[in-house]
Amino acid sequence: MRKLIALAFLLVAFSARATFFDTTWDREAYRWQTNVVASGGQLSTNAYLTGTRFLNHVKQWGVRPLLGRVNLYLGSNTNAMLCPIIVDWFNTAVDDDLIAFAAGDYTEATGLTGNTTTKYLRPSKGNGLGLGSFTSIDNVHMAVYVRTGSDESSYACGYASAGNVTCGMPISFAGNTYIEISLANDPVADSSGVGFYLSTRLISGGTTNRVTYKNGTSIVSSAVNTGNLGSSAFVVHAFNSAGVITAWTSRAQSFYAVGYGIPVAKVAPYRLAVRTVQVTMARNVE
């Protein structure tokens, strides 16, 4: 009996230890919380610990160096939600801004819900975030978490530069999801898609890896090698077509990220880190 009690105690202790180390103090999490407050927002204890856990996970699992900008869509209002937790990549501002959204379009429980005519999120404010300022088409990724599915013809994020490249995430666009990182795109049937989507292009060891993953599984890939990142600004909840915003999405989304190319070995841990955020905030749809 004593051995059973001792075993139970150890299991509880190790569980508590794992939770502690997942949510222990992190410099970037503290900086994020400070910025949220300075921007007029608030983070609950649960939201702050969720962000801290995300940072600890991506650092423990070797994903953090590949992340240039990450927004977890956490906080009590849009002032908080517009403060990304990772801001290595920024042009004119650390925070994001919203175009045409109303305050009621965001809740922490559901993410940010757009429309099909006017609403989009602009990373780094001002002229937006130009991915070509930070990396190349041979080493790039975009990721989003889609909470509500449909087959409307819209983009989760992306941009095009005239004569250069289309770099975006058309998810379940008329029932098809595409790789769109280059001048060519390859559709696959994907109706009303939800969950974690990751598109990446990476040249490593002489092999071109151009893949779109859905919830950790490759759904379409190719070795097309053409184009560049151009100079237009990356936007979320819509598509920036060489300076003209179009293809707005009415789907709810609760995560976006951009960064360097994601190798196959890092896809699963990346997805797990993002999924843990969604599960913790009771908004997971996978």
| Structural domains for the chain | 27-280 (2.60.120)
**Tens of pLDDT along 156-197?**
999 998 776 789 999 999 999 999 998 777 899 999 999 999
First to last CA, the chain: 41
Average pLDDT, the chain: 90
Q: Among residues 279, 284, 277, 232, which one has the least CA distance to residue 86? A: 277
pLDDT of amino acid 14: 34
Contact 96, 281 (CB under 8 A): no
Q: What is the pLDDT of residue 183?
A: 77
pLDDT band at 207 (very low <50, low <70, confident <90, very high): low
Which of 92, 128, 164, 91 has its CA nearest to residue 237? Answer: 128
pLDDT in tens, 45-89: 999 999 999 999 999 999 999 999 999 999 999 999 999 999 999
C-alpha distance from residue 78 to each of 13, 74, 75, 148, 257 (Å): 38, 9, 7, 20, 18
